[in-house]
């Protein structure tokens, strides 16, 4: 839960590359502990994870679109 919350905060403050790392860890833990059909996994984590990755890719893809997240890409 802490990793999910930390990832959410990092997305909110435009540090998506850091968020993706924490959300990836949260995904592994939540999938193992709650299962991949649990609402916390499907409704909270997956959409946030997708948003963070999308924002990171937009930022890395030439900076044509102003991205919400402008953190460095790893």
pLDDT in tens, 20-73: 999 999 999 999 999 999 999 999 999 999 999 998 888 787 554 444 555 544
Q: Burial level of 1, CB count in 10 A (0-12/13-18/19+)?
A: exposed
What was the pLDDT predicted at 14? Answer: 86
What is the reported pTM? 0.76
- Answer yes or no: is 8 within a domain: yes
What was the pLDDT predicted at 72? Answer: 47
- Answer yes or no: is 65 within a domain: no
Number of domains in the chain: 1
- Answer yes or no: is 73 within a domain: no
SS3 letters for the chain? CHHHHHHHHHHHCCCHHHHHHHHHHHHHHHHHHHCCCCHHHHHHHHHHHHHHHHHHHHHHCCCCCCCCCCCCCC
What was the pLDDT predicted at 57? Answer: 87
- Answer yes or no: is 53 within a domain: yes
- Answer yes or no: is 72 within a domain: no
What was the pLDDT predicted at 61? Answer: 78
What was the pLDDT predicted at 74? Answer: 42
User: The domain containing residue 34 runs over which residues?
Assistant: 2-60
């Amino acid at each position: 839960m802490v990793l999910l919350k930390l990832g959410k905060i990092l997305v909110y403050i435009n540090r998506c590359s850091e968020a993706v790392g924490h959300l990836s860890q949260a995904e592994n833990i939540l999938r193992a502990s709650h299962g991949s059909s649990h609402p916390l996994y499907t409704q909270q984590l997956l959409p946030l994870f997708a948003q963070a990755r999308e924002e990171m890719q937009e930022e890395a893809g030439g900076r044509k679109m102003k991205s919400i997240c402008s953190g460095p890409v790893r």
